[in-house]
Structure 1
Amino acid sequence: MTDLPPLLLSRDRNLHGLSANDLAKRVRSGAMVRVRHGIYIDGPAWRAMKPWEQYRVRIQAAAEAFEKPTVFARHSAASVWEIPTIGFHHPVQALTLKNDGGRSRAGVSRHFAARADLKVIRLEGLLVTDRIRTVLDLAAFSPFAEAVVPLDHVLRPDPRRQLPAITKAELESGMGSVYSAAATRRIRAAIEFADPASGSAGESWSRALIHAARFEPPVLQQRFSDADGLVGYSDFHWKESRVVGEFDGEEKYLKSEFLKGLTASQAVVAEKQRENRIRALGCNVVRWDWADLKVPGTLERKLAAAGVGRRRTRSAVIDAQNRL
């Protein structure tokens, strides 16, 4: 993650020549923001941060506040690992080794974990669950569509952190006897569905919602060519329905690795030209973005309107030996 802005701890205010009244005045003026009791950050820097960056700061602030060693888990561990998750309003999450049902205190939700099979990693100065435990916990305790996102991510190598891909066999093995039977079923279902071909968190979430809405499974990263050569690769392709689906995340028009030397406006024009060439091949093209995914039913309505077929029910399947 990009270097976090420095935190100012109230107990260190004298080192900066500040009194308690000085801090209170700066908070009232907006020059500083109180992240949690006794911990502050520069106001303009805070307001310029994305929600997931602010969440990472909250984790750091919690770590600074606690005197005893604290192991961060679930969404908080994922944030430190830079594993994408869905949602911006998760509490800071940590483990407790006392089997008292877990507890929440000072803005931190604590979850029980047995010492056996618990692997703790020191990362960026924090203690976190290892990658496998982190994504398995998310699969165990998150809705299916959200659980798929981090699983898809770890099935691919992480070049930024120089981490190898995790295999499905490693994920299966990592479950051990940690989870209840119900949680194990949820994890297995998410692992089975996970696919490293999803190119982003938005595509992963889309694919899970598509599955939950009982649409035909799309082909991911389908190559398209015409008489002029390669057109490109689609996010989703339903061959039988002749529909191409494209998820428009903001990174497609903002991040350099996606722009490939183009300006944002040039990228928009290039994408429109690419869409026109795909349409000329006889495919309908439907697009959606983060806002569509956040409103239940919106993606389903768009795909239905575009003509994407639904999966057949068991009673509708007919084979050569069992004809009507």
Structure 2
Amino acid sequence: MHVAADDLGRLGTDDRYRLRVLATARRLSRYDTISHWSAAALWGLPAVDGWPDEIHSTVPAGSGLCPNRTLRRHRTRTPEAETLHVAGLPVTSLARTVIDVAGTASFSAAVAVADAALFSVGRGDHDGLSLLSFRSALSGALDELGRAPGSARARRVIDFADERANRPGESLSRVTMHLIGAPPPELQFRVIGASGRIWHTDFGWPEFGAAAEFDGRAKYSDPQFLRSRTPADVVYDEKVREDDIRPSVRTFGRWDWSTARSPKRMASALQRLGVPVGRD
């Protein structure tokens, strides 16, 4: 696979790593299944801590295959029940991919992956998968792990994951709130604006009359969020929306990645909203 340097330079980090995964196709043995973070990339899942340097695959424990300069090979005694093909490569199923990441990555990065997978299933991106069947598949993949290393942390991630968190910044914010002992927010919090229009904010604490939004750069630059609007249009639309919401709540706040990642900044942001921080 050859990509012109100019074209490669225009790719984002997600696409560049995905391209590296695709480029390993001719180096795979018949036992290799793309897995962990490399499978997550092919499934379109986020990496809030950045992508790894290596390509990950899983092989049967008795295959005799070892890691090499190209592949970081994970061994399993439990054969993958559902190896699928994505972009022409053998890849662990979406559920198995989530569990593999959940058992090996940081809690925040793994929650972002699990949330994103659940959201994409709920949105109907995966034929034949419903939230109910996908949750069942996740439970089955957890059961296969048994008491293997990483099983407890994977279960913690799945128990915490929520399909209503539709952006990685929201997932990271939830994790940071959890770590500082803040009360869990209602996600996609329903607010009836002053105009009578119904809005949904990323986070809400009705008991404190507070609502908040995660505001990443993507909202003002990503075509998925722009929907044929200019960044200036989005800024204006957000202002109109916020002006309609504010009379219906006691406090309203916004934050970006720097706050979502920082316990200190998150604590300050929540306290300004009147949301208590710290467990009793």
CA shift at 1:235, angstroms?
0.3
User: What are the within-5 Å matches in structure 2 for residues 61-100 of structure 1?
Assistant: 61-66=23-28, 68-90=30-52, 91-98=54-61
* Structure of greater Rg: 1
One-letter amino acid of the counterpart of residue 95, structure 1: T
Distance in 1, matches of 2:129 and 2:278, equals: 34
User: Which amino acid in the other structure matches residue 206 of structure 1?
Assistant: S
SS of aligned partner of 2:51: coil
Q: Please give the alpha-carbon distance, in whole angstroms, between the structure 2 residues aligned to 1:263 and 1:300.
A: 33
Q: Is the 8 A contact 2:60 2:79 kept in 1?
A: no
8 Å Cα contact 1:241/1:307 also seen in 2: yes
Cα distance per residue 1:146-183 (max 9 Å; x no partner)? 22122222323254454523432331122233243552
**What is the percentage of aligned positions where both structures have the same residue?**
28
1:293 matched residue in structure 2? 260
Match of 2:85 among 84, 100, 122: 122
Q: 1:304 to 1:182 in 2, by over 3 A?
A: farther
TM-score (norm 2): 0.86
Question: Cα distance 1:103–1:309, how it changes in 2: closer, same or farther (>3 A)?
Answer: farther
- How far does residue 43 in structure 1 lie from its aligned partner after superposition? 0.6
Q: Higher relative CO (CA 8 A, sep ≥ 6), structure 1 or 2?
A: 2
Which amino acid is 2:162 matched to?
D
* 2:177–2:263 contact (8 Å) kept in structure 1: no
The match for 1:306 is 273
Q: What is the alpha-carbon distance in structure 2 between the residues aligned to residue 80 and residue 296 of structure 1?
A: 31
Aligned length: 275
Give the partner amino acid of 1:128.
V
Q: Indicate how the Cα distance of structure 1 residues 55 and 261 shifts in structure 2: closer, same or farther if over 3 A, else same.
A: closer
**Aligned residue in 2 for 1:215:** 182
Q: What residue ranges of structure 1 are gaps of 5+ in the alignment? A: 1-6, 9-40, 314-324
Give distance in 2, aligned partners of 1:102 and 1:286.
52
Cα shift at 1:93: 0.9
Distance in 1 between residues matched to 2:196 and 2:229, nearest whole Å: 20
CA distance in 2, matches of 1:104, 1:163: 34
**C-alpha displacement at 1:198, in angstroms?**
1.2
Q: Evaluate the alpha carbon distance shift between residue 298 and residue 43 of structure 1 in structure 2; reply closer, same or farther with a 3 A threshold.
A: farther
Cα distance in 2 between the residues matched to 1:235 and 1:185 = 29
Q: Which residue of 1 aligns with 2:95?
A: 132
Q: Which amino acid aligns with 1:266?
A: D
Report the residue type matching 1:221 in the other structure. Answer: Q
CA distance in 2, matches of 1:282, 1:296: 24
Alpha-carbon distance change, 68 to 297 in structure 1, aligned in 2, over 3 angstroms: farther
1:113 aligns with 76
Alignment of 1:246-265 (within 5 A): 246-265=213-232
Q: Which residue of the other structure, out of 110, 116, 122, is the alignment partner of 1:153?
A: 116
Q: Give 1:194's aligned residue.
A: 161
CA contact (8 A) 2:194 2:244 kept: no
Deviation at 1:282, TM superposition (A): 4.1
**Native 8 Å contact 1:248 1:289 kept in 2:** yes
SS of the residue corresponding to residue 133 of structure 1 reads helix
100-109 vs 150-159, which moves further = 100-109
Bigger fraction of residues in helix:
2
User: Partners of 1:67 and 1:100 in 2: how far apart?
Assistant: 10
Structure 1 length normalisation: TM-score?
0.75
Note the alpha carbon deviations across 1:84-135, whole angstroms, 9 max, x for none: 3322231311113236999542143221112435432122111111111110
Contact 2:46 2:113 in 1 (8 A): yes
- In the alignment, what sits opposite 1:58? 20
Letter in 2 for 1:152: D
In the TM superposition, what whole-angstrom CA distance separates every residue of 1:58-78 from its partner, at most 9, and x where no partner exists? 111222344655311011011
Question: Compared with structure 1, are the counterparts of its residues 187 and 115 closer, same or farther at alpha carbon in structure 2 (3 Å cutoff)?
Answer: closer
Amino acid at match of 2:34: F
CA shift, 1:52, in A, is 0.8
Two-structure CA RMSD over aligned residues (Å) = 2.7
CA contact (8 A) 1:155 1:165 kept: no
